[in-house]
Amino acid sequence: MKRILVGIAAAATLLATGALAADLPVKAPVYKAPVEVFGWTGFYVGGNIGYSAGQADNSTTIDRFLTGLPLPGTLIGTNSAKNAADGFIGGGQIGYNWQITNWLVGLEADIQASGERGSSSVICLACSDDGTNIVTRLDQSLNWFGTVRGRAGILATPDAVFYATGGLAYGEVNVTGSATGNFNQTTVFLPGNSSTRFGWTVGAGVEGHIGGNWTAKLEYLYMDLGSVSGGPMQLTGILVPVRTVAGLSYSSHFTDNIVRAGINYHFNSPVVAKY
């Protein structure tokens, strides 16, 4: 009888414990807010500012104006010189990105105002009939330029992409100058030559998400706009006393190193990560 009573008491204790446990509040799972990941796919527009360190490779040829033959007593005076053409730049860009997992490809076009200026002196030794030098000064300016480029890169993190870029470049290159020679240092001013040149560009950059729909970028471009040429132009009054009429032809090959920082607004929404 005693054993039966002990068993009944133990069973009652277990039932009471289970009932109390059932009445205890259940701890709710910890809520984790979804993480927003920036989505790179879509259109964007932006602006930039930077500095350009360009270079002009110049050459001049002085010979007989009408025939192109050597001047009396001299060889054809072909000489060359280089000069820097530096200045600040600024402009805007528009583009479209496609994000493919951790890869990014896209197209971008930009247009830039440029303050790049440079000049150099090219000396033709003893080219005048009286044995004096003829000094040609060439001045270059890049008033504006633009590019249309492809971009391809890898996302180092969801918010940062390293990319390479390249494509078409174009811009307005202006060349003016003067030639000075003879014992009395006669100066002849050359007519200006301004033309829109087409060339190519390559470069690399990094772009990062800075909040909302905004990104910031730092970019380097190398640009080659080809050559601007002129002539022959008559150097009246420089070649005396023989008074042979001389002609001057010139060429300036313009290349550029561009570093610029920019900011873009993307017309896309952040992507919510799903767990």
CATH number where 255 lies: 2.40.160.20
**How many helices (H) and strands (E) are present in the chain, helices listed first?**
1, 10
- Provide CB contacts within 8 A for 146, sequence distance 6+: 91, 109, 110, 111, 112, 169, 170, 171
- How far apart CA 205 and CA 220 sit, in angstroms, is 6
pLDDT score recorded for residue 146:
97
- How far apart CA 128 and CA 238 sit, in angstroms, is 7
Please say whether the beta carbons of 80 and 123 come within 8 A: no
pLDDT score recorded for residue 9:
47
- The answer to the question of residue 137 being in a domain is yes
Q: Are strands 214-234 and 246-266 parallel, antiparallel or unpaired?
A: antiparallel
- How far apart CA 138 and CA 118 sit, in angstroms, is 8
- The answer to the question of residue 261 being in a domain is yes
Coil vs helix vs strand at 63: strand
- The answer to the question of residue 149 being in a domain is yes
- The answer to the question of residue 154 being in a domain is yes
| 263's tokens | 């900011």
Q: Which domain holds residue 217?
A: 39-272
| 9's tokens | 């008491």
Q: How many domains does the chain have?
A: 1
pLDDT score recorded for residue 11:
44
- The answer to the question of residue 118 being in a domain is yes
- How far apart CA 24 and CA 47 sit, in angstroms, is 61
- The answer to the question of residue 121 being in a domain is yes
Burial class (CB in 10 A: 0-12, 13-18, 19+), 27: exposed
pLDDT score recorded for residue 5:
42
Q: Is the pTM of this model over 0.95?
A: no
- The answer to the question of residue 15 being in a domain is no
Whole-Å CA distances, 97 to 37, 91, 148, 162, 179? 16, 20, 14, 13, 51
pLDDT string in tens for the chain (275-residue length) = 455 444 444 444 544 444 444 454 556 566 566 667 889 999 999 999 999 999 999 888 887 776 666 665 555 567 788 899 999 999 999 999 999 999 999 999 999 999 999 998 888 877 776 777 888 899 999 999 999 999 999 999 999 999 999 999 999 999 998 888 877 788 888 887 888 999 999 999 999 999 999 999 999 999 999 998 887 888 777 765 555 677 888 889 999 999 999 999 999 866 655 54
H or E element, residue 6? helix 2-23
**Bridge partners (DSSP) listed for residue 211:** 214
pLDDT score recorded for residue 230:
85
- The answer to the question of residue 230 being in a domain is yes
